[in-house]
Structure 1
Amino acid sequence: MKLLFVADPIESFKTYKDTTFAMMREAARRGHTLQVCEPRDLVWGRGSRVVARRCRTVILTGREQADWFAVVAKGEVALADTDAVLMRKDPPFDAEYIYATHLLQQAERDGARVFNKPSALRDHPEKLAILEFPEWIGPTLVTREAEAVRAFHAEHGDIILKPLDGMGGMGIFRVGPDGLNLGSITETLTRDGSTTVMVQRFLPEIVHGDKRILIIGGVPVPFCLARIPQGSEVRGNLAAGGKGVAQPLSARDREIAETLGPVLAARGLLLIGLDVIGDCVTEINVTSPTCFQEIQQQTGFDVAAVFVDALEAAVAARRAA
């Protein structure tokens, strides 16, 4: 198959941990052709199909970091002429990301097969997607009003505030019972009431990790990665210095994944990353879920192989439809 990865510049990949690289490596092992572009390369004009204007066909060299790939061809490629397009652009989930999903949806009209489905990406912003499943989440507020934030803090005492478009723990704040800096933090995150934020009750179970549970084709991977905060840090995100510890899914983890996974997969979300603290879902990641390599390195479970199996099956199913 010809696989087109729409992603951040591949020169920036940290191959020892990057999940998109793990996907590419497994696909190459099976003989699939690897093509790459960035969202900015997507172009559409009236009377034509969506193309990747600066598409590169690459091979993997087996070497480390800077020269891990070699370009064997460059040029314009129509997305519908590939077998699958994999949208792997990292957040922020901003206007440009949304515009890219519209171009990818137009490519679907041309006949392209895109994973995750562009309309599903738009419909499931990673922070807000949990609102559909209130029975699986902790106390949560979405607002831009400072007074609502103060009332939520007064009720719950220890809270987390975070922007809706961040990743890797960016912009996350904790305010304890003393309320220290609540006003300043609220003003900063809401930009004086012009930007909506999410507020959640602090979950003390974070000391045991913010668990990333991967769901592929509606089926949970049997191991999760608990991202455990270090030192005085409240965030478990690996990008914020958290320690990743792979572990089997608990009964509660599996219950959550087996309930939400099929629902979300039916909407065109081939790969999902649930974030779970204690018994509560805190985010539903669909843009570019990670942790493939950390789980494989610690448990031997080949997540990338399971993903490419699911991708091949999904492509075959769409061809047959």
Structure 2
Amino acid sequence: MTEAVPPLRRVLVVADPLHTFVTYKDSTYAMMRELARRGVALAACEPAHLQWRSGEPVTALVREVTLTDDAHDWFHVRRQGREPLHAFDAVLMRKDPPFDAEYFYATHLLQQAQREGARVFNDPAALRDHPEKLAVMAFAEWAPPTLVTRSAEAIRAFHAEHRDIILKPLDGMGGRGIFRVGADGLNLGAVIETLTQHGHTTIMVQRYLPQIADGDKRILVIGGEPVPYALARIPQGGEVRGNLAAGGRGEARPLSERDWAIARALGPVLAARGLLLVGLDVIGEWVTEINVTSPTCFQEITQQTGYDVAARFVDALEAAVRAGAAASADGRTGAAT
């Protein structure tokens, strides 16, 4: 009997520079550790290393790496060279925001690599279609009152209606650039001018949710199914932002009934659109953001609950690669008959 070929032998990770990883909390690092544990050969590159030339496939200047047990010197480069993306069993797009023009261009290069046979996760077209903040527009019934605009007049009217609001840039991450304006409207004009750049930049405005005091929950959805624990990121020291990068304290908790309802409603829809991994941000009863570029919180949930999120993710990745290979084989068989 022929032994089954493992679905993953080589994986390419497209991410920020490896030396910038904070390994004790980085979810991409956790993915890479789990892949290495399963004997998968790892390579890494940055979006800037992607390249296409007419008559050739999409390539990247990649570094083949091995992982060490040293948190400060956690990888060694074995070899460096340019390779086509379709030479890997899977390509993980894990570049952190901002979702700027260069990120947009990278998704087009990755989509071309898909046409050439590469299997990219999350799907590049789905990444473009689901910017972190704007993705909630497709699920408005699960979101708090929200406004997307560059109009100062519209923002002032929204504030007059809801009295206590949060304003944030569309391309931010980690809580950067988020402002709260209360009922007194103090500094609303200055905040509007700063964030919209005097009406030239579109922003998001949402009704302030006081339940933030109990945490901004990150619910991870993998392959359409939720991880049974969320990480509640609790603001500290008078902050309105719970983001860990803004000093929030992370507390892992079992999903509530409402959390399960949200995840089960959105998860299958997002998975069907090519999003293998999604991070839903939930405050109280409401989804405030849908993170698809590089959702995190793997390590915090695993450390506090023992639930191995990275293993769950790699299981789903293997299943997705197997399914893609089977679909390709069926397509070839159909074309031959």
Query: When the two structures are superposed, what TM-score results if normalisation uses the length of structure 1?
Result: 0.99
SS in 1 for 2:195: helix
In 2, Cα distance between equivalents of 1:131 and 1:117: 20
Show structure 1 runs of 4+ deviating over 3 A: none
Could you tell me how far apart the structure 2 residues matched to 1:232 and 1:276 are?
Answer: 20
Question: Which residue number in structure 2 is paired with residue 247 of structure 1?
Answer: 253
Query: How far 1:309 moved relative to its partner?
Result: 0.3
**Aligned to 1:281, which of 287, 301, 305?**
287
For 1:295 and 1:90, how far apart are their aligned partners in 2? Answer: 20
Distance 1:159 1:235 in 2: 13
Residue 199 of structure 1: CA displacement? 0.3
1:92 aligns with 2:98: yes
Provide the C-alpha distance between the structure 2 equivalents of 1:132 and 1:231, rounded to a whole number of angstroms: 34
Q: What value does the CA root-mean-square deviation take over the aligned residues? A: 0.4
Instruction: Say which SS state the counterpart of residue 141 (structure 1) adopts.
Output: strand
Which structure 1 segments of 5+ residues have no match?
none
1:102 aligns with 2:125: no
Q: How does 1:43-192 map to 2 (within 5 A)?
A: 43-52=51-60, 54-65=61-72, 67-192=73-198
Q: Residue in 2 aligned with 1:201?
A: 207
Q: Counterpart of 1:25 in 2: which secondary structure?
A: helix
Counterpart-to-counterpart distance in 1, 2:167 and 2:56: 45
C-alpha separation in 2, matches of 1:188 and 1:44:
38
Which residue does the alignment assign to 2:39? 31
Could you tell me how far apart the structure 2 residues matched to 1:62 and 1:267 are? 37
Alignment of 1:10-21 (within 5 A): 10-21=18-29
Q: Distance in 1 between matches of 2:39 and 2:122?
A: 22
Aligned amino acid, residue 37 of structure 1: C
Aligned residue pair count: 319
- Cα deviation, 1:88-121, whole Å, max 9, x if unaligned, reads 0000001100000000000001100000000000
Q: CA deviation at 1:238?
A: 0.2
What is the rounded CA distance, in whole Å, between the counterparts of 1:293 and 1:140 in structure 2? 31
SS at match of 2:232: strand
User: What whole-Å deviation, never above 9, does each CA across 1:208-250 have from its counterpart, x for those lacking one?
Assistant: 0000000000000000000000011100000000000000000
Offset, 1:77: 1.0
SS in 2 for 1:133: helix
CA distance in 2, matches of 1:9, 1:215: 26
Letter in 1 for 2:43: Q
Question: What is the alpha-carbon distance in structure 2 between the residues aligned to residue 89 and residue 285 of structure 1?
Answer: 12
Separation of aligned partners in 1, 2:121 and 2:71: 28
SS of 1:221's equivalent?
A: strand
**Amino acid of the structure 2 residue aligned with 1:5:** V
Q: Report SS of the residue matched to 1:220.
A: strand
Per-residue deviation, 1:173? 0.1
Relative to the length of structure 2, the TM-score reads 0.94
CA distance in 2, matches of 1:64, 1:315: 30
Show the counterpart of 2:30: 22
Aligned pair partner of 2:268 in 258, 262, 266:
262
SS of the equivalent of 2:137 reads helix
